[in-house]
Amino acid sequence: MAPQDTSTTMAEPTSLAPGFAGIAEDWSSDQRTFKNVPWGKAMMWIFLLSDTFIFSSFLVGYMKVRLSTTTPWPNPSEVFALSFGGEPIPPILIAIMTFILITSSGTMVLAVNYGYRKDKNKTALLLLITALFGASFVGMQAFEWTKLIVDEGVRPWANPMGASQFGSVFFMITGFHGFHVSVGVLFLILVARKVWRGDYDTEKRGFFTSRKGNYEIVETMGLYWHFVDLVWVFIFAFFYLW
C-alpha cells in the first residue's frame, strides 16, 4: 500500500477581474479592515489629519519668514527669560509649561486605561486632573502673552526687540494652539462629568453619547489631547529653542 501523501498544498491566489472591475473589487475588500472602528474615533482621526496640515502650514510659514527676514530675529533666551532675584533665567516658564503638558499626557493615558476597565471614579478623576494641567498651561500662556505685550511692547505688527514679523507669527501659532488646549479642557470636564454620573453605564442620551458600558469617548478625547501635546513639542522646538 502506497504511503499516504501528508504534504499540504498552498491555496492558489484568487485572481481579480480584469480592468476597472478588478480595481473596484480590490479596493472594496479593504473596507472590511475598518468595519469595527467606532465612527467617533474615525472622525477624530480625520479631524486631526486636517489639523496637522494647518499646523504644518503655520510652522513652514514661520520658518520661511524667519529665514527670509533681513532684520535680526529676537533671541528667545532673552525674550522669554524671567527674572528671579534680579537675575534673568532663560525660558524657565516655557520649560514648566512643557513639563505640565507632557505630564498631562500621562494622566490621559491612565484615564483611558481605567476607562477600558470601566472604573468610572478613577477615570473621571484622571480626566479632571488632565483638565487641571491643561488649564494651568493656558494660564501660564496668558501670563507669557501679558509679559510680552505689556512689559516688552511686542505687537502682532511691531516688535521693539528685532524683526517685526516675530509678534505676528508668535501670537498666531501659540494662540491657535492655546485655543486647542482650551477647547480640550472644556471637553475633558464635560466628559468627566458624564463619566462620574454614570451616563456611559446607563447609556443616557445627550452630548457625547456612547453604547452602554462603553467608554470609547475617553479614548477619542485621548487622541485629541495627545495630538495637542505633540504639536506643542514642535512649537517649543521652533520658537523657544531655535
Confidence of residue 26 (pLDDT cuts 50, 70, 90): low
Which of 121-125, 128-132, 147-151, 174-178 is predicted with the least confidence, judged by mean pLDDT?
147-151
pLDDT tens track for 215-232: 788 999 999 999 999 999
Instruction: Evaluate if residue 184 carries a pLDDT over 60.
Output: yes
Q: Which residues pair with 84 in a beta bridge?
A: 87
Confidence of residue 163 (pLDDT cuts 50, 70, 90): confident
Residue 59 maps to a domain: yes
Q: How many CB atoms lie within 10 A of CB 21?
A: 10
Residue 16 maps to a domain: no
Residue 57 maps to a domain: yes
* CATH assignment at residue 120: 1.20.120.80
Q: Which of 57, 37, 58 is nearest to 46 (CA)?
A: 37
Q: Which of 101, 93, 61 is nearest to 182 (CA)?
A: 101
Residue 24 maps to a domain: no
Q: How many Å apart are CA 228 and CA 105, to the nearest integer?
A: 10
Confidence of residue 28 (pLDDT cuts 50, 70, 90): low
- Per the structure, the count of domains in the chain is 1
pLDDT tens track for 80-109: 877 766 677 777 889 999 999 999 999 999
Residue 95 maps to a domain: yes
pLDDT at 85: 64
Q: How many Å apart are CA 104 and CA 227, to the nearest integer?
A: 12
Instruction: Evaluate if residue 34 carries a pLDDT over 60.
Output: no
Residue 103 maps to a domain: yes
9 phi-psi bin (left φ>0, alpha ψ -120 to 50, beta other): beta
CA atoms within 13 A on the CB side of 239: 26
Which of 5-9, 214-218, 232-236 is predicted with the least confidence, judged by mean pLDDT?
5-9
Residue 75 maps to a domain: yes
Amino acid at 123: T
pLDDT at 84: 66
Q: Residue 78 belongs to what domain range?
A: 38-241
Residue 4 maps to a domain: no
C-alpha cell at 215: 467608554
pTM score, whole prediction: 0.80
pLDDT at 121: 92
Between 78 and 4, the more confident residue is: 78
pLDDT at 127: 96
